[in-house]
């Protein structure tokens, strides 16, 4: 089965993809109709670029390599897994999309998340802004360690960009 989206299907690694990589990784994703971005980038359309950064937790992120060749005037959308990396790269792109936190997975009123994976920091779910860069951290649909969610609904985020 091939994946299809109007501006392409793009993949970045998370900790599990770094720990247990698929054999012939790039060819595997290409056969599914997706493009893997590991410290690399791709132009989605005129003036809009995706920057894929390897996972901080289990991989080897390289900002300079990831942003190489991206015009300064472009709208830059950075993708990476562990949201705490936002502290290092804020100000380099217009928007960041991250995950990894599962939104805290098990939450209590007033208390909040009882546990989050390493490399989440304060960025467990939703919108954040720093140095002119906005980041959205998705709760995702999966779980980590325990197959349970409590007061932390799964989500598939749909974000519409008004880039001209």
Report the 3 state secondary structure along 52-88.
Answer: ECCCCCCCCCCHHHHHCCCCCCCEEEEECCCHHHHHH
- How does pLDDT run across 120-136, given as a tens digit for each residue? 989 989 999 999 999 99
Mean pLDDT of 15-29: 92
What's the CATH class of domain 9-137? alpha beta
- Higher-scoring residue by pLDDT: 89, 2: 89
133, 93 in Cβ contact below 8 A?
A: yes
Angle among Cα 83, 33, 157 to the nearest 5 degrees reads 35
Instruction: Find the mean pLDDT for residues 12-33.
Output: 93
Q: 48 — phi, psi (to 5°)?
A: -125, 120
34-78, pLDDT tens digit by residue?
A: 999 999 999 999 999 999 999 999 999 999 999 999 999 999 999
Look up the pTM and report it: 0.92
Give the pLDDT score at 164. Answer: 60
pLDDT at 163: 65
pLDDT at res. 58 = 93
pLDDT value of position 147: 85
Answer yes or no: are the C-beta atoms of 7 and 45 closer than 8 Å.
yes
């Amino acid at each position: 089965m091939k994946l299809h989206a109007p501006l392409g299907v793009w993949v970045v690694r998370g900790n599990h993809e770094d720990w247990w990589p698929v054999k012939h990784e790039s060819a595997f994703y290409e056969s599914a109709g997706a493009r893997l971005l590991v410290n690399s980038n791709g132009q989605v359309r005129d003036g809009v670029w995706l920057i894929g950064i390897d996972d901080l937790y289990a991989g080897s992120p390289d900002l300079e390599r990831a942003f190489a060749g991206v015009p300064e005037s472009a709208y830059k959308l950075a993708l990476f897994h562990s949201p705490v990396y936002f502290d290092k790269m804020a100000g380099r792109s217009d928007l960041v999309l991250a995950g990894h936190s599962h939104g805290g997975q098990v939450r209590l009123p007033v208390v909040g998340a009882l546990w989050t994976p390493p490399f989440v920091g304060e960025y467990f779910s939703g919108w954040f802004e720093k140095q002119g860069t906005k980041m959205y951290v998705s709760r995702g649909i999966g779980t980590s360690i325990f197959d349970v969610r409590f007061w932390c609904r799964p989500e598939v985020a749909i974000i519409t960009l008004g880039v001209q």
